[in-house]
Amino acid sequence: MFFRFFVKRGKLELRITYCSNSQKFLYDFQHIIRAFYPGAELMFGNGGDIHFEAHFDGFNVRIQAEMENKEIVVKNFILTDDDHESKRIFGRNLYDILKTLTGKELPWGILTGIRPTKIVYPLVESNLPDKEASEYLQREYYISKKKSHFLLEVAKNETNILNRVDSSAACLYIGIPICPTKCLYCSFSCHELTKRIESLLSLYTQALLTELEKTYKLIEENKNKIVAIYFGGGSPAVIGVQNIKRIFESLFANLDVKDIRETTFEAGRPDTINRELLELLALYKKDFNIRLCINPQTSNDQTLKIIGRNHTFDDIKKAFELAKEYGFENINSDVILGLPNEIEEDFKKTIYDVLNLGPASITVHTLSIKRASLLRFKWQNYRFMDEHTVNSLLDWARAILKERGYIPYYMYRQKNMIGNFENVGYSKKGFEGLYNVMIMQEKHNIYACGAKAVSKFIFENDRIERMFNPADIQIYISRILNIEKL
């Protein structure tokens, strides 16, 4: 099979091709290649400026890299009958080839997947000393010493949070994938609030309520108790206060609120936050332990325009003041490192500006140039920070947040992130986002309602089954309410 990657560098286009007699470890190959060559696009074809071949013969594998039809690097190695170990062996050998070709080393080594702490849980649970655990991560995954220590710290904090919930605990996700506008970097199947979508909001709410009614029965049958609820998917407030009220009334009537330790509401953007919304949420704040998200992303007004936000940072400040006026103290704020045209000083200013707002938690994201985002097609029009600067700023943010009393309590990673780095949630003690940790750890059922929502059910031997809802709002409404044509 042949796959072609295109990496644009100015006006040049570097082509990287891969040929193999097996599909084994194909995902890992793609992920590691893209980490070394950011901006790579996968296409079918053959030939390339750099060509990789992998030949599998039972447990014996040969990988070679060619440039201008000349063999330049070759690795021969042997796999084992353990798939996980073989995956690491393949990854390390490919990494060694790419390190030779580029002269680069990746802080996260060969680690793939969005849940890095999952590989650490067994080490933490077995009480392996930190030094030995760190050495294992460095040896098996080529993770840097600094990142391995950080990963252990986050995994321990996650474990402490999860130890406070029992096996019957579960989460409920309520998806409302609609936003006033779509951000430049967003790849979610999120609908913009057009007149057509606006005309469907009442029907969408009715479909959500209908699905929730069925979900309550399933929760009861499975003897689960909902401990965390998450309103997300876009900007949930766009469906209107009366529709939000209908959902809360349904939750209150059907769930035991004594079990609910946290309800996150993605207020998100200041253009969806007003007194009417906060007054409603304040009514349910105590019973549902509401955690509000107000997400600046940056305090740079020029960047906000570039990414498609129709507000200023001053609007974020006003939203914070209003939320605190209504008694909301558990507020999370998201920021993004590496946004288009931003430099080191912009990000540092954003962190200080957000800290001055006094959120209970701050999530530091590293920009990911996702395949389905508008940025994927326009990235050549902007300047971006280099990997060294991004890595230094991640360390800087960690130090500043620690100094201000924030601890790293969960972590996840995405494809095509600048520098192949990480997203980290920091919080004041006692304000950790329970839902965030539970969805990362994948030990508890996640019931998800709404368009594009994905439910996850956990079975014996850590088997996970997922159920996907349609991403399109009209299709979702039609299926739930059995409407043939809207």
β-pair partners for 424: 364, 411
Q: How many CA atoms lie within 13 A of 450 on its CB side?
A: 23
Using CA atoms, how far apart are residues 288 and 257, in angstroms rounded to an integer? Answer: 6
**175 within 8 A of 232, measured Cβ to Cβ:** yes
Using CA atoms in the order 39, 44, 45, 51, what is the torsion angle rounded to 10 degrees? Answer: 50
**3 within 8 A of 42, measured Cβ to Cβ:** yes
pTM of the predicted structure, to 2 decimals = 0.91
- Is the Cα torsion angle 455, 460, 462, 464 positive or negative in sign? negative
Q: 251 CB contacts (<8 Å, ≥6 apart)?
A: 172, 212, 229, 288
Give residue for tokens 């709404």: 450
Which CATH number, 3.30.160, 3.30.420, 1.10.10, 3.90.550, labels domain 2-104?
A: 3.30.160
283: part of which helix (H) or strand (E)? helix 275-288
Using CA atoms, how far apart are residues 349 and 296, in angstroms rounded to an integer? Answer: 12
Please give the CATH topology (third level) of the domain spanning 164-476. pyruvate-formate lyase- activating enzyme (3.80.30)
Q: In what order do the strands lie in the sheet with 262-268?
A: 407-412, 423-427, 361-366, 331-337, 290-294, 262-268, 225-232, 169-175, 446-449, 454-458, 464-468
What would the two tokens of residue 244 be?
């939000």
Question: 377-412 burial string, b = 16+ CB within 10 Å, else e?
Answer: eebeeeebbebebbbebbeebbeebeeeebbbbbbb
Give residue for tokens 């649970």: 125
**351 within 8 A of 334, measured Cβ to Cβ:** no
197: part of which helix (H) or strand (E)? helix 195-198
Residue 2: predicted pLDDT = 38
Strands 464-468 and 454-458: antiparallel
* HEC letters along 315-372: HHHHHHHHHHHCCCCCEEEEEEECCCCCCHHHHHHHHHHHHHHCCCEEEEEECECCCC
Residue 250: predicted pLDDT = 98
Closest to 50 in 3D by CA, of 69, 28, 24: 69
Residue 33: predicted pLDDT = 86
Residue 347: predicted pLDDT = 98
Using CA atoms, how far apart are residues 322 and 341, in angstroms rounded to an integer? Answer: 31
Residues in the chain: 486
Using CA atoms, how far apart are residues 230 and 264, in angstroms rounded to an integer? Answer: 5
Using CA atoms, how far apart are residues 63 and 66, in angstroms rounded to an integer? Answer: 10
Residue 41: predicted pLDDT = 63
- Weakly modelled stretches of the chain, pLDDT under 50: 1-12
41: part of which helix (H) or strand (E)? strand 41-43
Closest to 293 in 3D by CA, of 346, 365, 226, 198: 365
Map out the domains of the chain as residue ranges: 2-104, 164-476
